[in-house]
């Protein structure tokens, strides 16, 4: 797509093509990071995943191989496509491995101070033309971009979990994000087979602005004794046709992530309806984050998982 940009001197507009993204870097080898790497590699893009922990990188590669094998078994991809995709994925514990990347997306934990530290270490290693994105599900893109040397080339690209399955990507422009960057990231989302929803840069964007307060309300219903874990989840699955109950979904997302998003909403919008439920806070304080820790609103050390309350 050609974008007309009118120079300040009033002369005829220049034609600015969005940059072509041919190589991708990913910061963070967790659930979101390896999922993003998965879809990029299947789209034929060379990918480098960077994480401070080598064991996290090894686990990410194993997870991708396992998930692609499932896709082969379901005839979603061929065994040749799987092998070609896995061959495109490299890993490193050094940000310098991203020095030639056209696009780098940060998929670290949902804490602004952590993300700022990542960008501080990352940015000096990148070429000047590299577009930088955050997979944040709630934090201000404008504020994160302002902490870098390239706010005009900084954007939000929020994938849904699990990335290989979910079709949506939220694209969020910061106040300084330029048009070529926006168009380049929209093009990338399409190349990955995703459908884009463009959100304004307000706390939690679109999906989590609606979804996580619903989860928080479900936790309040549990906290106030309106219903048990099983009753609440069964009611929403059978009464509202949700594929997962809100407490089961919270465990899947991670209770720590749900709490972080509620805190961003509460602090960013100053509205008491976004106050995190005290019970959600207690579960996080206990280290009961959900599936990833083996315990949340359900105990995953048992089959089937048993409600913890």
Please identify every residue annotated as catalytic: 137, 158, 170, 208
Kindly state the DSSP code that residue 232 receives in the 8-state scheme.
H
**And the tokens for 294?**
């083996």
The number of beta carbons lying within 10 Å of the beta carbon of residue 283 is 25
User: Could you tell me how many residues make up the chain?
Assistant: 309
Instruction: Please give the C-alpha separations between residue 158 and each of 162, 168, 220, 227, 245, in angstroms, as whole numbers.
Output: 12, 9, 27, 33, 23
Residues in CB range of 33: below 8 A, 6 or more apart: 26, 27, 49, 51, 60, 107
Tell me which residue has tokens 């041919």.
22
The angle formed by the CA atoms of residues 17, 120 and 205, to the nearest 5 degrees, is 60
């Amino acid at each position: 797509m050609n974008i007309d940009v009118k120079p300040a001197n009033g002369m005829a507009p220049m034609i600015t093509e969005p940059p072509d993204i041919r190589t991708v870097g990913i910061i963070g080898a967790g659930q979101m990071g390896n999922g993003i790497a998965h879809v990029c590699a299947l789209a034929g893009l060379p990918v480098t995943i960077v994480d401070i922990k080598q064991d996290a990188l090894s686990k990410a590669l194993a997870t991708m191989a396992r998930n692609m094998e499932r896709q082969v078994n379901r005839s979603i991809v061929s065994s040749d496509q799987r092998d070609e995709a896995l061959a495109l994925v490299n890993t490193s514990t050094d940000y310098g491995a991203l020095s030639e990347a056209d696009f780098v997306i940060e998929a670290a934990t949902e804490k602004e101070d952590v993300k700022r530290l990542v960008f501080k270490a990352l940015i000096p290693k990148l070429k000047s033309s590299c577009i930088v994105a955050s997979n944040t599900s709630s934090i201000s893109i404008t504020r994160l971009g302002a902490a870098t040397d390239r706010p005009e080339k900084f954007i939000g690209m929020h994938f849904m979990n699990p990335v290989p399955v979910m079709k949506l990507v939220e694209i969020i422009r910061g106040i300084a994000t330029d048009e070529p960057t926006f168009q380049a990231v929209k093009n990338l989302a399409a190349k990955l087979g995703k459908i884009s929803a463009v959100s304004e840069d307000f706390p939690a964007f679109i999906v989590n602005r609606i979804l996580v307060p619903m989860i928080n309300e479900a936790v309040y219903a549990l906290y106030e004794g309106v219903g048990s874990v099983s009753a609440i989840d069964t009611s929403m699955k059978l009464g509202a046709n949700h594929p997962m109950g809100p407490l089961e979904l919270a465990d899947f997302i991670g209770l720590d992530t749900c709490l972080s998003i509620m805190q961003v909403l509460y602090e960013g919008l100053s509205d008491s309806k976004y106050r995190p439920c005290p019970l959600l806070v207690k579960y996080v304080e206990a280290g009961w984050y959900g599936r990833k820790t083996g315990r949340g609103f359900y105990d995953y050390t048992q089959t089937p998982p048993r409600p913890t309350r």
